[in-house]
Amino acid sequence: MSEFFSTSDERHAFAIGFFEVLCPWKAHYKDNLPVPPPLKGEEHYYLGGRALGFITLLLILAGMVKLFKEVLF
Closest by Cα among 64, 71, 9 to 37: 9
Closest by Cα among 4, 26, 3 to 14: 4
- Report d(CA 52, CA 71) in Å as an integer: 28
pLDDT in tens, 12-46: 889 988 988 888 767 666 665 677 777 788 888 88
Query: Count of residues for the chain?
Result: 73
pLDDT at 6 over 90: no
What average pLDDT is seen over the chain? 83
